[in-house]
Amino acid sequence: MTAVDPNLHELWRNAPLASFKEFVESTAFVELGRRNQAPKTKPENDVDTDPDVKEAPRPIRESSVKVYLSMFGKYLRWLEHRQLHLLDVKASDIDAFMEERMSGKRGKARDLSSRSIRKSYLRLLERMYEHLKLVPNPAKDAMFHASKQDGGLGRDAHLVSLSPEQIAAFMAALPEINDFPKNWKRRRDRAMLCLMLGAGLRVSEVIGMYIENIGLPNDNGSIRVTVSAASNDGTSRWHQTQLRAFAAPDVLAWVEERKRMDMPDQMLFPANEKGVRLDKATLYRQAKKTFARAGIDVARHGGRTLRNAFAVNELEGGTPPEEVTEFLGLHKQKSINIYLTRK
């Protein structure tokens, strides 16, 4: 194996974005993309071409460079937020990044709800780490994990939702609570999970909630919830949904408790007493633990499954598709079709 160039690693550690840009604009990037590809068949009438001479690689187009830079920028910001450097990540870190991006921006060309785009993202990172001669290659291991989970990254996975019985089991398995003030985080976590299952919110929308976003119960016990695009870094558009009655009590109780807490800002689900914004990983962990306690065996144990369950439950309960589209904050009406045509 070729030795690692310490100067190269130092350069990427100090200036990762500039180093990445230089890499994708180089022929080395193209060469790495050619590896493991099947050789092209030589045309029968190609008598002048020397089979031992390969065509020199040409740098990729500027438009492609911009796309890759955008993809890498999102990855880099995610790492910086978690105080990780791209040279120090493990496959589990990339797994977490991919899982979070699965609930990313709607209506964008690079929505990771598509397995093919997810594959492209992982291939890009794999190529970068191969260039850096990082062993083991964390993106390659993450690709293996994703392939096992999704049954092949080239296909879109089937919709994962919950039956009415599973919804009841999930609610019964929410984190236990008591009246001790020091255990307020358990009550916070219950409210977060109820808001996801009962109102269909994305993870980014939940952690961006403010107290003022939660309305009052109406005649049927449902609560209007307002989602502001500004509160979740623009990952979703402004819209309103309904927190259904079965999940409302824990959320209302938490709202009242949160109002009484002496914390800066009005963020609904702070990470600590200082009012720091909650990390998405906390919500993922709580969801996974609750699925385990409930004994629910589904392919995915995260926020997307809870959001799917809300959508399916609404449609099966007779809510018109156009209303569910609004509740979910979908950009296009046709996006609801995945729930209407589920298997």
Number of neighbours of residue 39 by Cβ within 10 angstroms: 8
pLDDT in tens, the chain (343 residues): 456 678 899 999 999 999 999 999 998 888 887 654 444 444 444 444 444 444 556 788 887 788 889 889 989 999 999 899 999 999 888 888 887 776 544 333 344 555 666 778 888 999 999 999 988 899 988 887 666 555 544 444 568 899 999 999 999 999 988 767 678 999 999 999 999 999 999 998 999 999 999 999 999 999 999 998 777 666 678 999 999 999 999 999 999 999 999 888 889 999 998 888 898 888 999 999 999 999 998 888 888 999 999 999 999 889 999 999 999 999 888 888 888 865 4
CA distances from 178 to 125, 188, 278 (A): 45, 12, 22
188 and 87 in one domain?
Answer: no
CATH of the domain at 283: 1.10.443.10
Residue entry with tokens 């926020």: 303
Tell me the pTM. 0.57
Q: How far is CA 20 from the centre of its chain?
A: 23
Q: Are 303 and 283 in contact (CB under 8 A)?
A: yes
User: Which of residues 87, 122, 150 is at a domain's end?
Assistant: 150
* Residues 95, 225 within the same domain: no
Q: If you search the block for the tokens 């939940």, which residue do you land on?
A: 206
3-state secondary structure of 122: helix
- Closest C-alpha to 227, from 207, 244, 247, 245: 207
Q: How far apart are CA 57 and CA 54, in angstroms?
A: 9
- Structural domain boundaries, residue 33: 6-150
What are the helix (H) ranges across 132-241?
A: 138-150, 164-172, 184-199, 203-207
pLDDT of residue 67: 84
CA distance 314 to 265: 33
pLDDT tens digit sequence for 82-136: 899 999 999 888 888 887 776 544 333 344 555 666 778 888 999 999 999 988 8
Domain endpoint, select from 89, 122, 150:
150
Asked if 253 contacts 180 with a C-beta cutoff of 8 angstroms, the reply is no
Report the chain's terminal Cα–Cα distance, integer Å: 48
Residues 177 and 323 in one domain: yes
Is residue 269 included in any domain, yes or no?
yes
Do residue 181 and residue 307 come from a single domain? yes
Residue 41 φ/ψ, nearest 5 degrees: -80, 135
Nearest partner of 89 among 127, 141, 124, judged by Cα: 141
Q: Is the domain of 133 the same as that of 253?
A: no
Helix (H, G, I), strand (E, B) or coil at 189: helix
Asked if the structure places residue 57 within a domain, the reply is yes
In degrees rounded to 5, what are phi and psi of residue 205?
A: -75, -35
Q: Which two tokens stand for residue 240?
A: 């309103």
Tell me if 155 is assigned to some domain.
no
Q: Are residues 289 and 312 in the same domain?
A: yes
DSSP state letters, 198-226: HH---HHHHHT-BGGGEEEE-TTS-EEEE
Are 81 and 111 contained in the same domain? yes
In terms of domains, do 140 and 171 share one? no
